[in-house]
Amino acid sequence: MGRTAVARTYADALLDLANREDAGAEYLEYLSEVTGVIRSEPGFRAFLQTPAISLDEKKTAIRDAFGGRYPELFVRFLLVVLEKRRQNLLSGIEEAYRAMLDDQSGRVRARVTLSIEPDEGLREEIASALSRVLEAEVVPEFVVDDSIIGGMVVKVDDRVLDGSIRRSLQVLRRELIEGAPSGAKS
């Protein structure tokens, strides 16, 4: 089983635990905080990855660090991840968990690329329009890329809707080149 499949298996188990407590969003916050600490604290990451440190010491550290902050079920999940030596998959588990929670909640995430930083009104207008088109609650992530010149590019899962001026110019250029009669000089 590949790393992604294993991460999905753990994420599915965590979602089951969260659903028992009707705390799907909260568990995502907890998981994001834990992975954030692991990413931002190289010493903590090394501590969790080092085989020279016993499992008991690692479990004690996890209990001390997160035991009072998070529900017992969530902490036990972290301990199982440690026992199975899957702590290096926590970021993948977080990603898979987020996708499963979105699916369960009828949300769709979209990456919206614009040439300028959108103000709040434009953000809301784009989110609303995408929600109507996709017939789901859309959670947009806005990215600025001035190379698209204008318009926008929307990526949802593996679909890309390219309404950028850059793309329109590329299409126009191709049409002009392909439409020119053979032997004609530019």
* Predicted structure pTM score: 0.71
Residues 83, 44, single domain; the answer is yes
Helix (H) or strand (E) holding 31: helix 24-40
- Position 180 scores a pLDDT of 57
Tokens (6 digits) for 175? 């049409």
**Confidence band of 26 (pLDDT split at 50, 70, 90):** very high
Residues 87, 139, single domain; the answer is no
DSSP string covering 44-60: HHHHHH-TTS-HHHHHH
- Domain-located, residue 97: yes
- Position 151 scores a pLDDT of 83
**Total domain count, the chain:** 2
**Confidence band of 127 (pLDDT split at 50, 70, 90):** very high
Q: What is the mean pLDDT of residues 37-44?
A: 91
Helix (H, G, I), strand (E, B) or coil at 23: coil
Residues 17, 83, single domain; the answer is yes
DSSP β-bridge partners for residue 159: 156
- Position 89 scores a pLDDT of 94
Residues 96, 118, single domain; the answer is no
Residues 92, 136, single domain; the answer is no
d(CA 137, CA 128): 8
Is 70 exceeded by the pLDDT of residue 71? yes
Q: What is the mean pLDDT of residues 84-105?
A: 93
DSSP β-bridge partners for residue 142: 112
Is 90 exceeded by the pLDDT of residue 159? no
DSSP string covering 104-164: HHTEEEEEEEESS---HHHHHHHHHHHHHHHTSEEEEEEEE-GGG-SSEEEEETTEEEE--
- Position 181 scores a pLDDT of 55
What is the CA 40 to chain-centroid distance, rounded?
Answer: 18
The last residue of one of the domains, among 83, 103, 123, is 103
- Domain-located, residue 184: no
CB atoms near residue 10 (< 10 Å): 21
Structural domain for 119, as ranges = 107-179
